[in-house]
Amino acid sequence: MRAVLFAILGIVLVVQTATAGTLDKVRSDGVFRIGYRTDAQPFAYQSAIGEPEGYAVDLCREVAAATKQALGLGEMKVEYVTVTAEDRFQAVKDGRVDILCDPATVTLTRREIVDFSLFTFVDGASVLYRADGPQGFEGLAGQKVGVHADTTTEEKLKGALAKIGVEAEIVPVPDHKMGLERLANGEFAAYFADRAILAFLLFGSDQADKLKLSDQYFSQEPYALAVARGDDDFRLLVDRTLAGLYRSEKIVTIFAKSFGKAMPSDILRVMYSINALEE
């Protein structure tokens, strides 16, 4: 009988652990785990000294501070966990990270795996050309074009080219740095990514004179922070934190830290206004 009771107790403990919410885990462990990519400047990346940086990372630091305060913790360690474009959502689902902080586009398919916060940014896919190459979609016929693998941009690029009947060789690359290098050295005729990322890459490139950023958008990409599916208490805390930032001037400071002198677009200002929910 004692053995049976211990077995039942063990099962109960396993179930409780498996179903524990993010806030319960943080309260128990004293650790808040931020998942971020190292290759998604200016939203999430590693600085020259290996520190996590970026617009989305800074938003998650605000969430970490709010979590510590909400739980009344004297001490709480913030642990930064690197993820990739391929495994980032699974890392949230598996509990390897408490929140995903990168330019994650919200889609219904992704919502089968994770839940999302209020929107954090609105961007759109665009294209970076070589200055001496094709300057439009039609000119890409028969050319190699690069795109970051396992992103919504890859799928939308295929759809956009198919829609206008252009047959180009789409070459997925593991990171934006490689894509820019292969574009600059003439291997690619164009490189596709979200426009804010392309602008950041162009601004920091020592070969900017060889490249040209298109004004055209061929998609709309609403970003948000990904959290565990069904964890309503934690998602509410995240949304409350973001809404508070959007109601204040602090979001301006966070934006300027990553984007410098660039100004938020009109659509981003509207997004901030719509998501500045009142208590």
Tens of pLDDT, residues 24-34: 999 999 999 99
Backbone angles phi, psi at 95, to 5 degrees: 85, 10
Tell me the C-alpha distance between 278 and 146, whole Å. 43
What are 114's two structure tokens? 């994770």
Contact indicator for 192, 147 with CB cutoff of 8 Å: yes
The residues near 60 (Cβ < 8 Å, ≥ 6 apart) are 34, 36, 99, 101, 225
* Average pLDDT estimate for 207-234: 90
Q: Write the single-letter amino acid at 225.
A: L
Using pLDDT thresholds of 50, 70 and 90, give the confidence band for residue 12.
very low
pLDDT above 80 (res 212): yes
**Residue 161's pLDDT is what?**
83
**Residue 131's pLDDT is what?**
87
What are 164's two structure tokens? 């206008």
- Which residue has 């990514």 as its token pair? 193
Go through the domains of the chain in sequence order and give each one's CATH number: 2-123+223-275 (3.40.190.10), 125-213 (3.40.190.10)
Highest mean pLDDT among 96-100, 158-162, 177-181, 249-253: 96-100
**Residue 5's pLDDT is what?**
40
* Average pLDDT estimate for 117-128: 92
The residues near 153 (Cβ < 8 Å, ≥ 6 apart) are 125, 147, 192, 193, 194, 219, 221
pTM exceeding 0.85? no
